[in-house]
Amino acid sequence: MRASSDIERAIATFGDAVWRACLVYLSPADAEDVFQDVFLKFSLHDAAFADDAHEKAWLLRVSINACKDVLKSARRSNASVEELADEGREGELGCEDDEAALGLRTILDAMDALGDPPKTQLYLALYEGYSAREISQMTGMPVGTVYSWISRGKKRLREALS
């Protein structure tokens, strides 16, 4: 088990990235649960990380996998992911400006509609700033496949937002 100072440092350093990744997939209520689970798994993960980039990549991969697990369990309960997202995101986007909230909601809905892949690859590339090679290592996909999914995701996102 990791020392509490190591866990606190990881939350301070990578907590925002983990939180954003969770919100791309889940409602804020479910994202909170996954966020806590991710850092619990981190506290129990004894293996050392090569550097901060490796640690962040591990946390994001665990976060995305946990979010996918929540979505799978939501489908089994006969509630659509869209319904769950609508319930969780109604009025909780944190935007004061109605136009900004509408724009953010539109983007989140368009990302939700992408499916996975390319949702994960696009999120990691556009929002977290990872290269295709880094995403390839994180997801276990060939680099060329990652490039293809990013390209397709951008195209589909552009179509959905226009």
Scanning the structure block, which residue is given the tokens 């992408």?
114
Which residues of the chain does CATH 1.10.10.10 include?
A: 97-162
Q: Does domain 1-92 have CATH number 1.10.1740?
A: yes
- What the block records as the tokens of 9 is 């440092």
pLDDT tens across the length of the chain (162 residues): 888 889 999 999 999 999 998 988 888 888 999 999 999 999 998 888 999 999 999 999 999 999 988 888 765 554 444 454 455 444 444 444 444 444 667 777 777 788 878 888 888 887 778 888 888 888 888 989 888 888 888 888 888 877
**CATH 1.10.1740 region(s) of the chain?**
1-92
The number of beta carbons lying within 10 Å of the beta carbon of residue 67 is 22
The domain defined by 97-162 folds into Arc Repressor Mutant, subunit A (1.10.10)
Instruction: Give how far Cα 36 sits from Cα of 6, 21, 33, 67, 134, Å.
Output: 15, 13, 5, 12, 25
State the virtual CA torsion across 61, 52, 9, 40 in degrees, nearest 10: 30
